[in-house]
Amino acid sequence: MSLSVDWIRHRFGKLASREASETNSETTPLLRSTAQKRNWIYPYNKHIVFPNNGLFIQDFKKFTSNYPGNKIRTTKYTLLSFLPKNLLEQFYRLANLYFLFLVILNWFPQMEVFHREITMLPLVIVLTVIAVKDGLEDCRRYSFDRKVNNARTRAFDWKHKDYVERCWKDVRVGDFVKVVCNEIIPADILLLHTSDVNGVCHIETANLDGETNLKQRRVVRGFLSPDSPFVPEHFNSTIVCEKPNNDLNRFKGYMENPDKKKIGFDRKSLLLRGCTVRNTEEAAGIVVYAGHESKAMLNNSGPRYKRSKLERRMNIDVFFCVGLLIIMCLIGALGHVIWLGSFPDWPPFEVPDENGKFTSPALAGFYMFFTMIILLQVLIPISLYVSIELVKVGQVFFLSSDIDFYDEEMDKLLQCRALNITEDLGQIQYIFSDKTGTLTENKMVFRRCTIGGTEFSHQENALRLAAHGDVDSDEEEAVGPQRGHRSRLQFNSKNKSTRAFRRCHSAKAYYYGGYGRKKSEARRDSEVAFSSPLETDVTPDKKLMKIAREAANQMEMWCEVRYSSDSASYVDFFLALAICNTVVVSTATEPRHRVTGPSLLKPSIKSLEKLHSFLQKLKPGRISQVLSSIQSNSDQTGGTNQISPSPSGTSVGEENVAGECSSSVSGGFKDSGVSSKASTDSGDYAEGVKVGDEICYEAESPDEAALVHAAKAYNFTLMSRTPDHVTVRLPQGVLLTFEVLHTLSFDSTRKRMSVLVRHPITREIIVYTKGADSAIMDLLENPSQENRKENKITKNASKTLKHLNWYAKDGLRTLCIAKKVLSEKSYEQWSNIRLEAEAAIENRDELLMETALNLETNLTLLGATGIEDRLQEGVPDTIEALREAGIQIWVLTGDKQETAVNIAYSCKLLDQRDTVFTINTDSKETCESILDYTIEEVKRYAAVKNTRTKLFKVPVDVGTVYPLEGAGPTFGLVIDGNTLSLVFEGNLKMKFLELAKHCRSVLCCRSTPLQKSTVVKLVRDKLKVMTLSIGDGANDVNMIQAADVGIGISGQEGMQAVMASDFAISHFKHLKKLLLVHGHWCYTRLSNMIIYFFYKNVAYVNLLFWYQFFCGFSGASMIDYWLMIFFNLFFTSLPPIIFGIMDKDISAETLLGLPELYKSGQNSEGYKWSTFWIAMLDAFYQSLICFFVPYLTYQGSDIDIFSFGTPINTLALFTILLHLAIEIKTWTVVHWVTMIGSVIFYFIVAIVFSATCISCNHPSNPYWIMEREMADPVFYLVCIITPVLALLPRYLIRVIQGTFVLCPLLKARQLDKLDKEQRDEEISEWRERTRSREATVPLSNLSPPTSPTSPGNSGHPLGRTLTFEAPLNVDLGNDGTTPPGRSMLNGTEIEHSDTLHIQSAVTENIYTSIPVSSADRTGDGGKKAEDDSDAFCAGHQRSFSIMTI
């Protein structure tokens, strides 16, 4: 991207004169004086913005002159710079420099071979073709830039004292800009005013990151004035912010008022260029970044360019060709010297110089060396680089046009963002995948919850999912979740009965030149994010619905008497689900219009009077009765603590719970009219949801949407949200409007979010918090053992933790819900500190984090939720196929270990037959000991293949270590983020890799984005393998960029991953065809084409080289120079390009049916050392045949030199094209046309050239030579015999290979010749034979370990029990028992919290020499643990724990 004139002025222009006028402004003398002093105190590492409103006119001009304007230019060239800049870029290529060097050499008379113009022709043609291509691309960029720059917006003109229309390119930093609804923001603007009474502006960032959900931006603190319009003339502050950067999530600065007071702001007040204003009639602000300094432009890096593995290898072979050229030139120079020395005197044809002196043989040999370089220049294929670019463009076209990659729901095909690594798709050895949104749909479905230690299984919701057609054939989900291995529920997206919501807009949109229109219009008709029926239609649990309804009816009593019962926690739980989020409320008819006020359902005056009368009559005696009633209700619901799944025949239709709740609004809370405040407070809001309108929620994440819809299912409906208030409708229809005091957003460090609200009835300040269980459980209040209530809290937390483990093992995503009540004094103290942190300039983020951590302590646990993230369609089949293809698959996820392991089994990442090692530890020494022990055990049983070869008798690794399927037990590894940190910090990387490369699958849980990228780099750099990373979210960007190939999934989490990727797909299942089919084709086509190019050039150049032995190594050529130049540029250039784009060695059906065929690309069988050198030897052989057969035929005749060279040139064309015909596997019309067309074009050019060119190449005369040759029968005989003799060895080798089927690829090609039914049958038999070989586990050939055995081993189905001996020394106490909490592993003292858990389903019994104390078999109080007998856990014991440290 080139820089604009404004940018050049900014970087290289001199600052305006510092001598400001001493005449101060008459209107604002004090402000003018202050601004002059600021020039000395503002650091130049900050970005300073003065407003363009007439008050700071001198400062505005001085500083703005250093900033770029808003005009953008993404073009590379201008009319003046195109030619020199394009040539400079092209000569960065060494091949072009090489040919430029040859052109210069040919201008010296002593070394001239061709006419100077002829030598320049190949280089000129190549440079011209690339220049035309670059010019056309730049013209398209120019057209786009012109539309954007001429778009219209409204900027403030202080002379006219009003907003006037301007082009985008005329906007400057410091201008005040007003935007309206649906308008695209022209620059990065600091928000100072909106039409919203709460100072909120909603934007859609789809043009930046693809996310369609609305994001809130707030007016800078202190500028909210809903009652008065914003007047830019009165703005007298100076803005100081950070320098322009490309981080979309970072922005901070402050405003300095004339009184030196500073007001801080952050990214929540920044409107980014390219975003679209939604749900806001108008907004105004001041431009802080413009043009190329805006964050959108700084992130506009364009397509990614990488060097593929094949290209790197090709460059090495180019150097071999250079070496071969030097050797041939040295032979020619030495031969010329020897030939000159054979004359007794000077040769008769030698001409002396003007001084009568002859050139010495040594100097003549020196000149001849460079002459030979010019003559044999074609040995370095200049056209190869251009051909590779054209081939890759064609491959990308076919990739992007494959209808199998089309996603109808998103209306997207495969996107190729890196244009030059298509062949790398066929060589992938390791895949690193995210879990959420990549393997799963990222469509969160509320499944279960636990409140106050009571678990609610939501069996009706499971049946609701079955009604969608998403449950497997088994009935486990209808009965209740169990721990048995089963297939995950698959969401069927074919149900399209629900009509998509349409986005409407209320304000007139200012459109301009079409910029952004296409994407914006396409998104208006799309469905609102996270709003599919699968996610929104939650069927409530009948028992929980009844409890929640009764609890809501009694809520007023609890609030008045300040009594907190078990039932109160249910109300708090659902209020937390509805409140603790950032969900935007709109309506189904207008989903883009946020509801800022509550529903127009207001309690009647009569209801309010009844409530007042009720409270007056409520005496202390009556209160005690209320309390006893509450207690009795609590006791009645206490029996649901244990989970008792209903039989499979349970029907949902027994009771319409939702209807019952809807019809029961006449009692309790509604009759009492408890939320008069909700109705009165909402008077200042905009119009809310009208009666009968359907609520529509737009969330930033699917988790938030799932929880809000779950609360709505229990009639705790989120009705409206503003920055300061949130309204919830209770089951009785009454509205509660909470005052929002603070919102602590979610971040990856805290792993939670909190919202501080003031209760509308009790006026208490409540903190609602939701987050990961690992983050919440450690923040709970720590009660004493004496208080019964606090003991109950402890028991509640224990039960909730138990339920969380069940949820995780069932593959559910878990979230904990907690609350905290603050006193007014505590809140005031914390709020003051928070405000100071928000206003801080330095270390602002750290201070905000510290205040959040100080608040989120001593929480009271309310409950937890289990949300199912369902597997995408085709994920298990895809993983199974990729594994059969020899690809190692690692999953790097931030989810809980239990959740990730369950998903791994469901998607076939882990198999029932695998032995799984689970390593969790907090000690470096323990981690090292566990790794050492595990590696030792794995090496004992794993059959490892280490592929090695020898180059010049030196062993060289050409592959990696892979576990052999069927050669022994297969292993899996599960490791958590803490252990990964120890591995990276403790120099245990190589031991970790040593263990991981023997494992069939690796699962890294609780991983941070940095850990993900570190793991990818470690495997890529240390194992020297081809890696691919695939993800869908912003947390996967580092991992995607670290791999050789990055795949982004355009899913539910926006487009950050897509923007950072090389290829973008819609679903994980597309990876199967992308790699196994297109990857194989791209690699095979390009490798064969490159090998063919090297062969073609070497074979043709050797014809000239052999002729030197018969012309005294004089550098003469027997082929006309024009025909020789055209040979590579035109006659033989198009067929190999078509070959590289369209050839199919094996059909797509066969490649998908036999994934192991992919291994040929992993092993670089298409392009390796042997392939290259065999092609070189073949080229030498064919050149010998093509030269000496005509030589022997015409020996003794009187033909001239061109009459001898023309048949050689012709039969060389036939031989080279027929060689390509042997290599083509799939013939199409295009192949036939290019092959036959090349021959016809050659004869046409040769005949016309011979007939018209009399002295084109003086002093030689090619006139009528081709015509005479075509009239001679010997010419045709030579053109037939010579190609046959030249190609006979290659053809015979191909025949032998096809007869004896020496490799799987050849066998697969034979299968393609069969009809479909027979081919499918053969493929099935092939796969069965492969699986039968893998299923034969030769355990008898393995040396058995020396660990203790048991008599039960003889009963094992395999006749042998696989036993592990753990080298664990356990220190015993005086009583002979294991000391509590401590053990010794290989001499290292470790804690019992560190675990190495080995799972195996191969054997029934696994024994170890580790003594197990009685405490390990029992739970609290010495009682036997009951986890395994729980109905929820039944069937999930896939393995046995043999070591617990």
The answer for residues whose C-beta is within 8 angstroms of residue 1046's C-beta and 6 or more apart is: 1028, 1029, 1030, 1040, 1060, 1061, 1062, 1063
- CA distances in angstroms from 908 to 485, 891, 897, 966, 1067, listed in the order given: 11, 12, 16, 17, 17
Contact (Cβ atoms closer than 8 angstroms) between residue 214 and residue 698: yes
Please report how the helices 361-375 and 94-106 are oriented relative to each other, as an axis angle in degrees rounded to 10.
130
| DSSP sequence for 1137-1191 | HHHHHH--SS-HHHHHH-GGGGHHHHTT-SSSHHHHHHHHHHHHHHHHHHHHHHH
| Residue in the structure block whose two tokens are 């929980």 | 544
Amino acid identity of residue 64, one-letter, is: T
Contact (Cβ atoms closer than 8 angstroms) between residue 1136 and residue 1221: no
434 catalytic residue (yes or no): yes
Point out the catalytic residue in the list 434, 869, 911, 976.
434
Structure tokens at 1434: 């039944």
Alpha helices per DSSP H over 75-232: 82-90, 94-106, 116-149, 206-209
Rounded distance, CA 384 to CA 1418, Å? 72
The 3-class SS string of 167-184 reads: EHHHCCCCCEEEEECCCE
| Residue in the structure block whose two tokens are 């000569």 | 91
| DSSP sequence for 322-376 | HHHHHHHHHHHHHHHHHHHHTSSSS-TT----TTSPPPPHHHHHHHHHHHHHHHT
| Closest to 1210 (Cα-Cα) out of 1240, 1252, 1231 | 1240
Return the C-alpha torsion angle 674, 680, 686, 692, nearest 10.
30
Amino acid identity of residue 670, one-letter, is: K
Return the C-alpha torsion angle 1291, 1297, 1303, 1307, nearest 10.
100
Contact (Cβ atoms closer than 8 angstroms) between residue 774 and residue 977: no
What is the side-by-side order of every strand in the sheet holding 282-289?
162-167, 152-157, 176-180, 282-289, 188-194, 270-271
Structure tokens at 50: 């003065």
Contact (Cβ atoms closer than 8 angstroms) between residue 773 and residue 864: yes
Amino acid identity of residue 709, one-letter, is: H
Q: Tell me if residue 1408 falls in helix, strand or coil.
A: coil
- Region of residue 843 (left: phi > 0; alpha: psi -120 to 50; beta: else): left
| Closest to 529 (Cα-Cα) out of 214, 302, 315, 837 | 214
The answer for residues whose C-beta is within 8 angstroms of residue 1371's C-beta and 6 or more apart is: 1378, 1379, 1382, 1383, 1384
Rounded distance, CA 857 to CA 861, Å? 11
Kindly report the backbone phi and psi dihedral angles of residue 984, in degrees, each rounded to the nearest multiple of 5, phi listed first: -75, -35
- Eight-class DSSP state of 565: -
CA atoms within 13 A on the CB side of 338: 10
Handedness of CA 1123, 1126, 1127, 1130 (dihedral sign): negative
Rounded distance, CA 687 to CA 506, Å? 14
- Eight-class DSSP state of 25: -
Rounded distance, CA 985 to CA 1055, Å? 33
Neighbour tally for 726: CB within 10 Å = 26
Residues taking part in catalysis: 434
